[in-house]
Amino acid sequence: MKYLYLLIIISVFAACSPYAKTNKVYKKQAKEYSKLLREYPVKDSAGLLYADTWVGTTNFSMRRPNFVVIHHTAQNSCEQTLTTFTLPRTQVSAHYVICKDGTVHHMLNDLLRAHHAGVSRWGNNTDLNSSSIGIEIDNNGTDSFSVQQISSLLVLLGRLKRAYNIPTTNFIGHADVAPGRKVDPNRTFPWQRLAEQGYGCWYDTAGVQLPADFNPMQALRIIGYSVKKPESAIASFKLHFVPSDSSLTITDEQKKILWSLQKKYE
């Protein structure tokens, strides 16, 4: 009887959750997508000579993420971000939201496509939404990130890297994939600490000798940056690797940084 009473209390609490309605919407949408997955290939009007009988392969699996893109929320609280991500009109989302106290909200199944990267590019990948996990960290865009947030982030990155075999080079920021359009996570974000744990790359310029024909823009492109707008690419590179410098010129020392990184990304 005591256990039945406890279950009733839990059920009532869940029903009273401020996100009870949006959670139902999530389940409904997921159910609709599951119907699509159960459909056998449908003949279209492409003019192909389709076979009369359908033969379904037995060898397939779910597509898996290959990148992690880290953001700051640019909002004033975790609650505000959760609200934003549960309003249909905003059309924005992420797989995870990490609050200042380190609490992690897993808002979307890792194998589903979140709307977090927008118009983006990294190397030859022009649709990061379709190939990445989006992680939003509660931060107004200027504050430092809390110890609890980074601690939770590192644990989460470890789980994602192991679960999906994500390459070290594929842990990146929103500003990296959207130079000139986005600046998150901000300059206080500890990219070097992440790299030391195996999530992203860092540089080592000790003993670096630049080749005579070294091309900084080519190095940026090899790393992954879109160099369509060179100044934007430089700004995003510095935000990630040289956050103390907001200028749009590349110094000799920074050329060494680029060369060191280029060798890691080649």
Cβ(178)–Cβ(129) below 8 Å: no
Work out the end-to-end distance of the chain between its first and last CA atoms, rounded to an integer number of angstroms: 64
CA distance 167 to 173: 15
CA distance 81 to 71: 12
Question: Which residue among the candidates 32, 39, 79, 136 is catalytic per the annotation?
Answer: 136
Q: Is 136 a catalytic residue?
A: yes
CA distance 25 to 19: 10
Cβ(69)–Cβ(135) below 8 Å: yes
Which positions are catalytic?
136
